[in-house]
Amino acid sequence: MTAQVEGDKGGVEQTDGAIGPEVFAALRRVSTATVTTQLFARGLRNAYLAGLRPLNPSCTRMVGEAFTLRNIPAREDLDVLSVFRDYDHPQRRAVESVGPGQVLVMDCRGDTRAASIGGILATRLLRRGAAGLVTDGAVRDSPFFTDLELPAFAAGVCATTNLARHHAVDLQVPIGCAEVPVYPGDVIVADAEGVVCVPRHLAAEVARDALEQERLEEYIQRLVDDGAPLRGTYPPDEETLRGYRES
Ligand SMILES: O=C([O-])CC(=O)C(=O)O
Ligand SMILES: [Mg+2]
């Protein structure tokens, strides 16, 4: 694994070890659109978790390491209400294991016919210091999520409890979420547009180059807003780049 330290010009550079806080800080400042372009430039075209929407539109900014939970289809004889008497049920254990700053990412195989989590468990995640939650299934208690100060992204809402469709099996294994591969420790980045998964080993360089892309695009945006045509401006030719460097 690689990790990152603050570069001498305020950027981020790779070293060995954990992901540095400056990488998370940089990713918090850039859009998911920019992050997908940086991943695309590195050959990764399937990083955006299509179809997931924020449950609280005023609480969408989320960056953190993925903590994964895998569900398989439920079975009537196994998935009954009494399983929750076991506090170590994998769904409950997942909630009580997510660390501060981590994002709980749940694989529900895109099945929104039952919830994957509800308001009480989400409140517990918030109190544990989680950065947020992501599911390619549904949530229940969705009106409660509208005001919850926890970024939460789901493919739908459904009043039915998880046991009807989902059998939680594994924590911290590679999963598919909205058909995107998510490995434990990958960096999840979200904004009002949705959720992107950044492979852990790319987090630092994507953060660095995304910041630079956004600076340049802000400059281009201003030029276009002032009436500049696309030709020569977007993408920028040498003259526009010179103007940007001198700005
Ligand atoms: O049964 C569930 O999915 C859990 C639930 O409602 C909650 O956390 O409030
Ligand atoms: Mg509930």
Looking at the fold, whether 219 and 119 belong to one and the same domain comes out as no
The residue whose CA is least distant from atom 5 of ligand 1 is: 118
What is the predicted pLDDT for the residue at 137? 98
- DSSP H or E segment with residue 241: helix 238-246
Looking at the fold, whether 100 and 210 belong to one and the same domain comes out as no
Looking at the fold, whether 185 and 210 belong to one and the same domain comes out as no
Q: Is residue 39 part of a domain?
A: no
Looking at the fold, whether 194 and 210 belong to one and the same domain comes out as no
Q: Which ligand is nearest to the CA of 158?
A: 1
Looking at the fold, whether 129 and 229 belong to one and the same domain comes out as no
Looking at the fold, whether 183 and 236 belong to one and the same domain comes out as no
- Identify which has the larger pLDDT, 15 or 164: 164
Q: Indicate whether this complex's ipTM tops 0.90.
A: yes
Looking at the fold, whether 159 and 239 belong to one and the same domain comes out as no
State pLDDT tens for residues 159-212.
Answer: 999 999 999 999 999 999 999 999 999 999 999 999 999 999 999 999 999 999
Q: Is residue 16 part of a domain?
A: no
Q: CA–CA separation, 247 vs 241, rounded Å? A: 10
State pLDDT tens for residues 76-99.
Answer: 999 999 999 999 999 999 999 999
Compute the mean pLDDT over every residue in the chain, rounded to the nearest whole number: 94
Q: Look up residue 128 and give its amino acid.
A: R
Q: Is the peptide bond before 151 cis (omega within 30 degrees of 0)?
A: no
Strand 2-6 relative to strand 12-16, pairing: antiparallel
List CB contacts of 92: < 8 A, sequence separation 6 or more. 84, 86, 121
What is the predicted pLDDT for the residue at 15? 43
Q: What is the CATH number of the domain that holds 190?
A: 3.50.30.40
- Name which of 179, 197, 180 is nearest 188 in CA terms: 197
Pocket test for ligand 1, best of 98, 127, 140, 165 (most atoms within 8 A of CB): 140
Pocket of ligand 1 from Cβ distances under 6 Å: 115, 117-121, 140-141, 161-162
Distance from the alpha carbon of residue 141 to the mean position of ligand 1, in angstroms? 8
Instruction: Reply yes or no on whether the pLDDT at 16 is more than 50.
Output: no
- Identify which has the larger pLDDT, 4 or 121: 121
Looking at the fold, whether 178 and 221 belong to one and the same domain comes out as no
The residue whose CA is least distant from atom 7 of ligand 1 is: 118
Range 153-157 average pLDDT: 98
Pocket test for ligand 1, best of 96, 104, 113, 120 (most atoms within 8 A of CB): 120
Distance from the alpha carbon of residue 141 to the mean position of ligand 2, in angstroms? 6
Looking at the fold, whether 182 and 77 belong to one and the same domain comes out as yes
What is the predicted pLDDT for the residue at 17? 61
Distance from the alpha carbon of residue 135 to the mean position of ligand 1, in angstroms? 14
Question: pLDDT class for 64, splitting at 50, 70, 90?
Answer: very high
Domain residue limits at 80 = 45-198
Pocket test for ligand 1, best of 161, 166, 167 (most atoms within 8 A of CB): 161
Instruction: Reply yes or no on whether the pLDDT at 3 is more than 90.
Output: no
Looking at the fold, whether 122 and 145 belong to one and the same domain comes out as yes
Looking at the fold, whether 102 and 162 belong to one and the same domain comes out as yes
List CB contacts of 137: < 8 A, sequence separation 6 or more. 71, 106, 108, 109, 110, 111, 112, 114, 115, 116, 154, 155, 156, 158, 162, 165, 166
- Domain count for the chain: 2
Looking at the fold, whether 82 and 158 belong to one and the same domain comes out as yes
Supply the pTM of this predicted model. 0.92
